[in-house]
Amino acid sequence: MTRPHLPADGADTVGAVGEFGVIDRVVARAGTAALADVGPGDDAAVVRTPDGRVVASTDVLVEGRHFRRDWSSAEDVGHKAAAANLADVAAMGAVPTALLVGLACPAGTPTAWLEGVAAGMAAECAPHGAAVVGGDTVASAPDSAAVVLSVTVLGDLQGRTPVTRDGARPGDVVAVAGRLGWSACGWAVLRRGFTSPHAVVTAHRRPSPPYAAGPAAADAGATAMCDVSDGLLADAGHLAEASSVVLDLDRGTLQSFVEPEGPLAQVAAAGGGNALAWVLTGGEDHAILATFPAAADLPAGFVRIGVVEAGPAGVRVDGIPAADVAEGLGEVPGHVHFG
Amino acid sequence: MTRPHLPADGADTVGAVGEFGVIDRVVARAGTAALADVGPGDDAAVVRTPDGRVVASTDVLVEGRHFRRDWSSAEDVGHKAAAANLADVAAMGAVPTALLVGLACPAGTPTAWLEGVAAGMAAECAPHGAAVVGGDTVASAPDSAAVVLSVTVLGDLQGRTPVTRDGARPGDVVAVAGRLGWSACGWAVLRRGFTSPHAVVTAHRRPSPPYAAGPAAADAGATAMCDVSDGLLADAGHLAEASSVVLDLDRGTLQSFVEPEGPLAQVAAAGGGNALAWVLTGGEDHAILATFPAAADLPAGFVRIGVVEAGPAGVRVDGIPAADVAEGLGEVPGHVHFG
């Protein structure tokens, strides 16, 4: 992996300023969490939990696997790391309140890069009143020059019942809010050495999850919900498995996510890949996938993409098993983390 | 770093069973958190917060920096990772309720090793009614064969006011509960290729923080508190800095932590190091350091080791600046994470 923006060890590196120098600089850019009674710098943070419960989730991002410093700016990485976590909270029907960040990085990491990550996280969190309230910074493994970021998000349900993955019932409607396939398309563009169409490259660098859709779905009576981080077919599979149902998706509707004049169609037409494959198997846009009772009014932003049926747990597209559909598109359904 | 227990990639590795295989095996050993409404396997966990606030802290452990697989069993690593976090919660005056674990590991990691880590964490958490409720598992950086563990702990204050680091006032008493120097002595023993005295080697592999001392200190009116993770002089320095006071420690009392017939004296007598240096600068025993009003009754387990005075923030031992004391012992005060 190339790292054009990385100077050698020097005055502005993590090794030169030390752990507490890093913490001071990062904290200065962390913003303030509206519900934090104790923020960064003590043994632990203290965050108010008005609901009486706290929602908590952790996502790990590894350089060279989840981001590349030559493809994404530090701010991009901060936005992306925060977004992946905030979307998990939204997918429970909650709103985010605070982040904690575990960071392992080489001594040669520029402090400016970490400050950029902190600024990106702060910007992604600020509209929610959330911010980084704690964390830990250590040196990378002796054999590694890569950054590892482990981000934990806390959230508040504001009185809602958490929407888990196991409540989908036959007869329910399947719906999705947000983009599908944009991040995957952007990744395909970057991998070929291009940086446009800008819209999909930006979607890869800084996903824009439909955060408000999660609580709105919970309020509308969603029976099951998750975010699409591994790809629609894969995450629909997790939901189907947890609920012991079949999710039968409508290929025509999913095809319509490839807008004829949009960037996915444009990249595909230029030979950059299969647009429907991105929609069905691309992860990291963090769309919100939910099931609703047939009589429910879908909240704004949700598009009906299928129905829940009884049967051996799994996902079908127009009745065809997901694995066969994905294979027909030359894709495996979803990320394989240890390939 | 040698890894005698690591087989080549094969049927029982993370790469062979995949992310969800890992999660299934680890969750099976996670135990149950008494306050968890939603545990592992969904987008996020949901944990009850009876106090109306949640305490949260993150610690990162990197293989080759914080543990070695040839020095510590998988269970040891799980105990140690959990203990470091549980001690942070105790040092706020709270009790732990749940852990989340971010894990980056190479595809060749034996699943049995991760199951051992999970079992160690579960055993360390169980007496508190806490357990792992969520996390994320990804492949290590492409350039690394090391495991990185980022553990986040949640805790409940049970109505107590959180005891931060900034409340020490001149006239207060300085006291400590728990062991000092045992982990550092154990590390010195292991580094020289020995495995006894067993007591200090075990203390290095599985620290035994005095968890109950934290809430007890809060109940007794502690004015400031932290855990000793970087070494007594270093952590006393953080507390002094946050409170803008001088902590003047009594050398004779600290010398008494080197029990004449105990393992520290024994290893030092055999030429293995300086016992007082371990007491003053050794971290990772996670003792609880606190300041109390002079009139307070110290809770059980606390030993008075000094007094708080006015003056430029810092730590002194019998009036001598900590840096000079440490230098006289041939040590730097506390961990340097990016040396």
Does one domain contain both B150 and B183?
no
Does one domain contain both A310 and A188?
yes
Does one domain contain both A138 and A177?
no
The reply to whether B315 falls in a domain is: yes
Does one domain contain both B195 and B121?
no
Does one domain contain both B294 and B183?
yes
Upstream peptide bond of B197 is cis (omega within 30 degrees of 0): yes
CB pairs under 8 A between A and B: 256
Taking only the tens place, the pLDDT of each residue in A284-321 is 899 999 999 999 999 999 999 999 999 999 999 999 99
Cα–Cα distance, B317 to B321 (Å, whole number):
7
What is the biggest distance separating any 2 CA atoms in chain B, rounded to whole angstroms? 63
The reply to whether B168 falls in a domain is: no
Nearest CA in chain B to A22: B338
Cβ within 8 Å, pair B56-A47: yes
Does one domain contain both A324 and A180?
yes
Structural domain containing residue A27? 14-156
The shortest C-alpha distance from B69 to chain A (Å) reads 13
Among B54, B60, B103, whose Cβ lies nearest the Cβ of A154? B54
Nearest CA in chain A to B138: A337
Q: Which of A1, A9, A58 best tests the B interface by mutation, with the highest count of B CBs <10 A?
A: A58
DSSP for A43-92, written as a single string = SSEEEE-TTSEEEEEEEEEEBTTTB-TTTS-HHHHHHHHHHHHHHHHHTT
The reply to whether A291 falls in a domain is: yes
Q: What is the full per-residue pLDDT of chain A (339 aa) written as tens digits?
A: 333 333 444 568 988 888 788 888 888 888 899 999 999 999 999 999 999 999 999 999 999 999 999 999 999 999 999 999 999 999 999 999 999 999 999 999 999 999 999 999 999 999 999 999 999 999 999 999 999 999 999 999 999 999 999 999 999 999 999 999 999 999 999 999 999 999 999 999 999 999 999 999 999 999 999 999 999 999 999 999 999 999 999 999 999 999 999 999 999 999 888 999 999 999 889 999 999 999 999 999 999 999 999 999 999 999 999 999 988 888 766 554 453
How many domains does the structure of chain B reveal?
2
Cβ within 8 Å, pair B47-A56: yes
The shortest C-alpha distance from A28 to chain B (Å) reads 16
Taking only the tens place, the pLDDT of each residue in B90-141 is 999 999 999 999 999 999 999 999 999 999 999 999 999 999 999 999 999 9
Cβ within 8 Å, pair A56-B98: yes
- Residue B20: give its domain's CATH number: 3.30.1330.10
| Domain end (from B105, B125, B156) | B156
What angle (nearest 5°) sits at the alpha carbon of residue A239, between those of residues A237 and A240? 65
The shortest C-alpha distance from B61 to chain A (Å) reads 8
- The strand pairing partners of B273, in sequence order, are none
Cα–Cα distance, B305 to B177 (Å, whole number):
10
Cβ within 8 Å, pair B337-A137: yes
The reply to whether A333 falls in a domain is: no
Residue A314 is inside which H or E element, if any?
Answer: strand A314-317
Cα–Cα distance, B313 to B204 (Å, whole number):
31
**How would you class B265 by CB atoms within 10 Å of its CB: exposed for 0-12, middle for 13-18, buried for 19 or more?**
middle
Cβ within 8 Å, pair B38-A157: no
Nearest CA in chain A to B37: A53
Which residues in chain A are contacts of B65 at CB distance < 8 A? 138-139, 141-142
Give the phi and the psi of residue A208 in degrees, each rounded to 5: -120, 75
Which residues in chain A are contacts of B242 at CB distance < 8 A? 41-42
- Residue A212: give its domain's CATH number: 3.90.650.10
Which ranges constitute the DSSP H helices of chain B?
Answer: 14-27, 74-90, 111-125, 182-191, 198-205, 213-219, 232-243, 251-255, 263-269, 275-281, 322-328
Cα–Cα distance, A123 to A130 (Å, whole number):
10
Does one domain contain both A145 and A189?
no
Cα–Cα distance, A217 to A329 (Å, whole number):
31
| Domain end (from A99, A127, A156) | A156
